[in-house]
Amino acid sequence: MSLLSVPPLRAFVPTHPPALRPLPHLSTRNHVRPSRTASILRRRRVLATSADTPSPSSPNFRNSEPAADNSNNNNSKKKLSIVGLIFLAITYLWSVILFIPMALAHPVVLWRDNATRRFHDLIAMTWMRWSLQTAAVSTNVINAHLLPPADTPAVFVANHTSYLDIYVFAYLRRRIKYVSKAEIFRIPIVGWAMAMAGNISFKRLDRSGQMEAYRRMLNVLENGLSLVIFPEGTRSSTGKLHRFKAGAFRAAKALNAPVVPVTILGTRESMPSHAWVPLKYPSQPLSVVVHPALDSSKLTVQQMQDQAFRSIDSALPPHLRQKKPAQQQPH
């Protein structure tokens, strides 16, 4: 073949760039080569990932180091579990110790004081205070002067973000009964003690059970005791208030009992709504903020719902406050 018959060099240059080879760990058994479109998309994803990764000179580079984050998370989980186990051991130790005299005295209490069960209330308040004090968790009551007289039956309504919320009411030093979902009463020792003390359980989907719980709420108030009710009906996972249910305010209205709004602070930080034990030690004392009592004889159920909601919401951290009040359950 002569030099004149040699085809030009561009005849050997492909008109289209070759498709990228598939990565070994992504290739199929038959080694099917990806299409040109798939190759282009893959290259774009790689470029996008590279662009999103901060450079070493970027101020965010330190936060992008996965090894450091994983190490910190692992150490944090170990510390959190230790805190929870310590508190669980403390509260159950006191519950076992105090449950013994409670159980022994129960027949006598039912015989002599079935309506109020004063001895059981004393045991319950002691258990809650000693559990927090032994764990070195301090609790502050703010605006304690706004509390009604100790012998005045009242309905305390509060925000609810943690199981620790029930403990802090022991620092109000009032004889109270809790209104709680039935599952809590199944917890060994603690749930049994709540039932023996005459606290009120209810099932959310059981209409007849709810009516029975409402009747018992009225009996508690008629016997000169106070109620603690979380009107949201469940724990808030975000810390923001959910709309209030009307049951607590109806009971107060029926007997002209004052409604005392209370804001609880600090419990969610230590023990979020999904946790059964504290996940970390609180960075500051738990706080119970008491707001001015609402006169149920002068307000409607709807007015009490709205005013209690605004009062409780006003003491929350600014980022948790509602910009627009939640629509309350119709009464």
Looking up residue 268, the CATH number of its domain turns out to be 3.40.1130
3-state secondary structure of 271: coil
Specify if 158 maps to a domain: yes
Specify if 191 maps to a domain: yes
Phi, psi of 108 (to 5 degrees): -70, -40
Q: Please list the ranges in the chain whose pLDDT falls under 50.
A: 1-7, 9-13, 23-32, 34, 46-79
Specify if 211 maps to a domain: yes
Structure letter (DSSP) for residue 261: E
For 161, the enclosing helix (H) or strand (E) is: none
Specify if 116 maps to a domain: yes
Q: Which domain holds residue 309?
A: 74-320
Residue 28's pLDDT is: 43
Question: Please, are residues 214 and 247 in contact by the beta-carbon 8 Å criterion?
Answer: yes
**Residues 211-225 pLDDT 10s:** 999 999 999 999 999
**Domain count of the chain?**
1
Residue 274's pLDDT is: 87
Cα–Cα distances in angstroms (integers) from residue 197 to residues 17, 245, 298, in the given order: 81, 25, 32
Residue 206's pLDDT is: 80
Residue 60's pLDDT is: 43
Specify if 331 maps to a domain: no
Nearest 5 degrees, angle CA 217-CA 275-CA 64?
145
3-state secondary structure of 218: helix
Specify if 23 maps to a domain: no
Specify if 13 maps to a domain: no
Residue 279's pLDDT is: 84
Residues 269 and 286: their CA atoms lie apart, in Å, by 10
Specify if 18 maps to a domain: no
